[in-house]
Each structure stands twice: as structure tokens, then as C-alpha cells.
Amino acid sequence: MSSERALALLRHAPIFQGAQEPDLLPLAELGRFSVLSRGQHLFQAGQAVESLYVVALGSVRVYRLSRGGRRELTLHVEGPRQVVAGVAAFQSRAVYPAHAQALQSPTEVLALPVDAVREAVFHTPALAQAVIAYFARRQAELLGRLDSLVFSELGERLAAYLLEHSAAPHALPTNSELAALLGTVPELISRKLGEFYRLGWIVLERAGAAHRAGQRRGGTGPAGRRHAKRGGALRKTPAPCPLFSPVLL
């Protein structure tokens, strides 16, 4: 039964944190899994909202395009157990406000019909409470995003990103992906990383031996790649590039 998998997934989804199994059962039964490959879209901005998705495997990037379509801004990258379009599902004008695409190659999501979700949430206090808490968290994140974009400059945002993601040695996303995440263009990411490298804030390493876990960087210029650390008042060093680990200094 796929509804068992669905139930297990829903039980651990933060958006429903605190809900009891019986509350989630009806939703789990309506859920349908589907598999996407890297680059495939779950939905495009402007489409009518039909489903809310829970990531089961892989990861999904939610992003908006600039009017000209020349630039994009990544709003979220959701991994397993995270929800995509969780907010849109409760909006009255039911169109997705952003695009969503799979980032890795097997990416599996559970689609839940929005009507059923609304129904369940509105009739189950525990669910409603969980959703409210989730929305509040979400908005706090967005606010943080907002003022980092307005108040801090690129170097700072990049350094913050690197520090935040330096827990385990791992590969850096593509420069384009980083650019979309930080609200800029790939060229600037390259320059900044180069600068950090020259300053000794980061170390770099070929992606060579790396497992090709869904996405890996292609060519590498002159010196290979860098890795970074820094920030307004931050202090930390980085390690190997596509792969890196943090080291305090």
C-alpha cells in the first residue's frame, strides 16, 4: 500500500507537526507519489493550484523569475519531508506564485489535492495549529531573506551562505544556483569566491573523486574551485571546495 508510505511521510512533515495519525490518514489515502528527474517542473508560476507537495526523496527548488525572465531568485530549496506550495494551497486566488522544479535526479514527491488538504486542516484543530505555526516560521524566514537582500551586500550574503552550509564536507551548488539563491548573477559568485580564495578564507578541491550525487559541477577554470568563509563579523575557515568542512579559527 502506498498510503502507508504516504502516512509515514506526512507524520514527519514539519507542516503537520503535532498532528495525530488518525488526522492524517484521510490525506494519506488521497496522496499520489510521483517521480521527477532533475530539471523537471512540479508546476509553473501562474498555473492553477491543484496540489500541495511533500518531498519524499531528492530536493525541489522553488523560485521566481524576473519580469524579463533573465534572472531568477530561489525562494526555497526543500528536501525530504518538506512541503512545496504549502502556502499557496491556502490562498484564495489559487495560482502558484512561483515555479518549482526538481533539483536532483530521482526526486519523488507526494501530491495531495488542495481541497482535501484545506478540508482536513480546517476541520482538525491539531492540523490547523500545526499549519499556523508552520506559516509563522515560514514568514520569519522570508523576513530574514528580505532584509539580508536589502541590507547586506553580496560578499556578506555569500559568506553567510557558506558558513550556514559548512557543517559537513560537501559539494557547493553551481555558481548559477548560488546566484539565484543570493539574488545575483553567476559571474559575481565566481569573482567573490575567487576573492575569498585569495584571502585565504576558503580552500578548494577538484570535484573529481566526488560522487555524482544528482548534480555536479562541470568544467573548472584555471585554479579549480574555491571555497569560502567570511562575513561582517564572522570568523571561520573553510576547507576543500566542492567538498568542504568548516574549521574555526
Fill in the per-residue mask, 49 to 88: x = in contact with a second copy (CB under 8 A), - = not in contact: ---------------x-xx---x-x-x-----------xx
Answer yes or no whether residue 155 interacts with DNA by CB under 7 A. Answer: yes
Please give the single-letter amino acid code of residue 45.
Answer: A
**247 is in the binding site of which of a second copy, DNA, none (Cβ under 5 to 8 A by kind)?**
none
For DNA, give the closer residue by CB, 22 or 221. 221
Answer yes or no whether residue 141 interacts with DNA by CB under 7 A. Answer: no
SS3 200: coil
Alpha-carbon gap, residue 42 to 84, rounded angstroms: 9
Residues 190-209 that bind DNA (CB under 7 A): 190-191, 193-194, 207-208
Q: Closest Cα to residue 176, out of 185, 167, 168, 164?
A: 185
Cell 526526486: give the residue: 107
Shortest distance (Å) from residue 232 CB to a second copy: 7
Residue 142: enclosing H or E segment and its boundaries? helix 125-151
43 near 96, Cβ under 8 Å?
yes
Please give the single-letter amino acid code of residue 47.
Answer: Q
Answer yes or no whether residue 4 interacts with a second copy by CB under 8 A. Answer: no
Answer yes or no whether residue 146 interacts with a second copy by CB under 8 A. Answer: yes
**222 is in the binding site of which of DNA, a second copy, none (Cβ under 5 to 8 A by kind)?**
DNA
